[in-house]
Amino acid sequence: MKKDAWTPDREMPMLDALLAGQKLWNSGAPALVQKNEMKKVAAALREEHEYMLEHEPQDQFHACTLLGALNLVEGLLSRKKPMKLDG
């Protein structure tokens, strides 16, 4: 990540999506498509979390929200077998 890729007024689309309760990837897509989308989501979450730590350390709630989502996605990606989330 380039140091000046972020500006202080840059939007935080992943944080906004999390706080709005939006889906982050298409859970009805084939497994390989979901996995690729999840990797992109994890990268975006990681980038926003790093920005929060560097530029807005006082905003611990939102940094923790991003970190929790990142941990969840990385945990799902680390599983050998797909996890069935339906009942």
- Sign of the Cα pseudo-torsion (43, 46, 51, 56, in order): positive
In angstroms, the CA 58 to CA 16 distance is 18
Residue 48 has pLDDT above 90, yes or no: yes
Q: Which pLDDT belongs to residue 1?
A: 47
User: End-to-end distance of the chain based on CA atoms, in angstroms?
Assistant: 39
Report pTM.
0.80
- Least Cα distance to 45 among 31, 29, 64 occurs for 64
As a whole-number percent, the residues of the chain with pLDDT over 90 amount to 68
Please give the backbone phi and psi of residue 16, each rounded to the nearest 5 degrees, phi first: -60, -40
Element (H, E) at 46: helix 31-55
